[in-house]
Chains A and B, each alone.
Chain A
Amino acid sequence: DVKVTQSSRYLVKRTGEKVFLECVQDMDHENMFWYRQDPGLGLRLIYFSYDVKMKEKGDIPEGYSVSREKKERFSLILESASTNQTSMYLCASSVNRVGYTFGSGTRLTVV
C-alpha cells in the first residue's frame, strides 16, 4: 500500500526555534506538497515541489522554507517559529492527476 510518512504526530516548540517537519513517500511520486489546515480556513498550500531540488511557493509561504534533496523526501522548515504557526501540517504526494495521498499530519504547537 502506498504511504506518505510524516516524522512526528505531535510537536511542541518554543517561539523562535527553528523547526523541521519531515515527509517521506514510497510511491516514487514526482509531486509533493505541504499544507496547513486551520479551523474555518480549510487547507492552505504552503509550498510544493514537482522534482528534486525544485520548489514553488504556494498561497502562504511567508515564514516557511522547504528542501527536496531526494525524490522521496520533502522537508518543511519554520525558520523562526511563531505562535501563529500553531496548526496541523499535512504533507501529500501525487502523480498523473489521480489525486493526492496525504500523510497522517503533524500537529504543531508553538508556545
Chain B
Amino acid sequence: QKEVEQNSGPLSVPEGAIASLNCTYSDRGSQSFFWYRQYSGKSPELIMSIYSNGDKEDGRFTAQLNKASQYVSLLIRDSQPSDSATYLCAVYSGGGADGLTFGKGTHLIIQP
C-alpha cells in the first residue's frame, strides 16, 4: 500500500514568516512529486512539481526533495493571508494511468 503522510495541522504562521510544510512517502520507487493548494470549497490547484533531489524555486515557493529520506517539503516565504489554505502532497509511483497518491493535506493558517 503506497502511502503519503502529512501533518493535518492546523499550522499557524505569522504573516511575513516562512511556512514549512512536510510530506513523507512510503514507496522508494516514487518518481514525481507535486504540491497542490486547495482553498476551502474549491478544487486543488497545482502549484509546484519536483522530479529530482534538491530544491526547486518558483517565486515565493520552494519545493525540496530528498529521495534517500523519502521526504518532500514546501516552503512559502513572506507568507500572506491569501496563502491560508490546505496543501496537498501528491506522489507518482508508476503503474497504470498516471496514478497519483495524495496525502490528506496540511491546513495552513497565516495570521495577519
Contacts and interface: CB of A to CB of B under 8 A. Distances in A.
Nearest to A101: B46
Contacts of A50: 96-98
Contacts, number: 54
B43 interface: yes
Interface residues of A, number: 25
Contacts of B45: 102
A34 interface: no
B104 A42 contact: yes
Nearest to A29: B98
A105 B42 contact: yes
B81 interface: no
B87 interface: no
Given A42-B104, A50-B98, A97 B32 contact: yes
A31 interface: yes
3 closest A-B pairs by CB: A42-B104, A50-B97, A102-B43
Interface of A: 30-31, 33, 40-43, 45, 48-50, 56, 90, 94-105
